[in-house]
Amino acid sequence: MNESEATGSKLRWLWLAALVIVLDLGTKAMATAMLTYANPVPVMPMFNLTLLHNTGAAFSFLAGAAGWQRWFFITLALVVSVVLVFWLKSLRRDETWSAIAIVLILGGALGNVYDRVVHGYVVDFLHFYWNNYHFPAFNIADTAITIGAGMMILDIFRKPRDSGGDPE
């Protein structure tokens, strides 16, 4: 099998990244249009829709910084996205699980980058809680990133260890 047959075929999964971006931006637009900022709308026990703006990263990390974090997170996400596309392109034909994980992370990263570039913050609206504990609000992009990262972690345990080499 030549290199072109073994690698590069996983770029076809980029449609999933595009779907994540469309769903993410669509739901954020709906949340922005239909919800009042910081006013929880109960959906079911332990779950509200609450429109929030996050200028930081995950769990509002660096949200209180002076504004430099916006460009830092944009640059970081774009660099990571380029790396993910090259990684996706290098996958072998049998690495579909990894391809799906990569494009979920890619789609989520680009959905949040769009928000940072256009708005200066990420739109969050999914708000889970238990009694007085409130999990940080998040969005579809964050969900895709989390699922993709979880798939990568699971992949570490799924792959058989290399049996070559000397035992220690």
Which residue in 94, 115, 124, 155 is the catalytic one?
Answer: 124
Question: Catalytic residue at 162?
Answer: no
Question: Shortest CA distance to 7 belongs to which of 103, 94, 93, 96?
Answer: 93
**CB count, 10 Å around CB of 91?**
20
Candidate list 24, 142, 162, 166, residue with the active-site label: 142
C-alpha span between 124 and 96 (Å, rounded) = 30
Q: Which strand ranges, in their side-by-side order, compose the sheet holding 133-134? A: 41-44, 47-54, 122-130, 133-134
CA distance 77 to 17: 14
> Active-site residue 142, yes or no?
yes
The full DSSP string for 9-56 is GGGGGHHHHHHHHHHHHHHHHHHHHHS-BT--EEEETTEEEEEEEESS
Could you give the angle at which helices 96-118 and 68-90 cross, rounded to 10 degrees? 160
Catalytic residue IDs: 124, 142
